[in-house]
Chain A
Amino acid sequence: DQQVKQNSPSLSVQEGRISILNCDYTNSMFDYFLWYKKYPAEGPTFLISISSIKDKNEDGRFTVFLNKSAKHLSLHIVPSQPGDSAVYFCAASPNNGNQFYFGTGTSLTVIP
């Protein structure tokens, strides 16, 4: 069973606009969440994380929002750049990072 879900397989955004990638989870025990970016033929690259004691974390153009009651997190990228075109995975851990569950990914295309 998929405990972390990314329901949008793909997203296209104009350069300079905001990209919003969404992720839902089912396990209320998840307490740590991450976003990764992946280019073809490379391993995932860490972007940003958030623990369950926060509802927002910001790092430059990237902001992650966590809504625990809705079991939902989102990644905002603003402004979007063509180099942001990649597959984005969200991941969650129930036990301090001993095990991670990943979503199926959203392919972001930023159009110049």
Chain B
Amino acid sequence: DTGVSQDPRHKITKRGQNVTFRCDPISEHNRLYWYRQTLGQGPEFLTYFQNEAQLEKSRLLSDRFSAERPKGSFSTLEIQRTEQGDSAMYLCASGFDLPQHFGDGTRLSIL
């Protein structure tokens, strides 16, 4: 069973560094979402792709954040000049229609 795969599972970096996360959705899923989750909170929507088109982007997504899905398959989420407040679990989800299925996330820790 090939579910949504996220890499890496954990990332520790120093403040100010850039980081990039990868998400491989379930094959043929046209919808792809990125979320951020902090302790005690639910997943917080960041952005949504339908195939390669980025159709929704949260106001929470500052200009330090960028996401791509170049060929409508895998996606990357890049955070530039990381800050302490970026420490969180970053979740990717995909779906053909609805609902969306989640990966296990990438945990980002900023030193």
Contacts and interface: CB of A to CB of B under 8 A. Distances in A.
Tell whether A pairs with B. yes
A49 B48 contact: no
A54 B69 CA distance: 34
A67 B40 CA distance: 26
Interface string A42-62: 111110010000000000000
Given A43-B104, A98-B55, A34 B99 contact: yes
Contacts, number: 59
Given A43-B104, A43-B105, A103 B56 contact: no
Interface residues of A, number: 23
> For chain B, which range describes its interface: under 10, 10 to 19, 20 to 34, or 35 or more residues?
20 to 34
Contact of B4 (A6, A43, A102): A43
Contacts of B48: 98-99
A95 to B, nearest CB: 8
A100 B33 contact: yes
A79 interface: no
B42 interface: yes
Contacts of A65: none
Nearest to A95: B56
Interface in B31-85: 31, 33, 35, 40-45, 48, 50, 55-56, 58
A100 B45 contact: yes
